[in-house]
Structure 1
Amino acid sequence: MSLQDEMAAVRRRLDELVSTVERLERELAHAREHGPPPEPAGRVSDLVTIPDTPYNAALWTDSDDEGLGVRDRRAP
């Protein structure tokens, strides 16, 4: 690839970058004028409240300790 070809490729990439930045600036101005988009209907909150109370130990009688193997046995 010649130097002129490389310079032309760089120029094209810069033109693409400039047009993308201009498009993003227009979208940002539009968003500022019209406010944030409305939340989709029926959307469930992303936050989940985890209680501070301890879990019922009976739920874990047949479980393995993660990474340690089965209870009352040596880890591998």
Structure 2
Amino acid sequence: MSVQDDLTSVQRCLDDLSRSVGRLEQQLGSGGLDIRRVRADADHLRESVALLRASASLQASSRKPELVTIPDQPYDDTQWTDCDDEGLGAHHGPEHRR
């Protein structure tokens, strides 16, 4: 599972929790300390997951492929003594062609 899939799953669970807490508030009343604490904790979890989702999306968008540095200096010509430039002919020019 990807991070986004896991965060979506957590969000669904929090939605279920919020609905359940709402039903409890209707049955027990919303004035008691315990139910208010449960509501506050559920709301805090929702906010925390929203922050986590934002942080995860920033991390995903900031990931860049690793760049390879290519030096400005020309390559050593002795590396290419045993080959020709493809399509351009031999290094020696037209006078050395057969």
More helix as a share of residues: 2
TM-score by length of 2: 0.30
**Structure ID, larger Rg:** 2
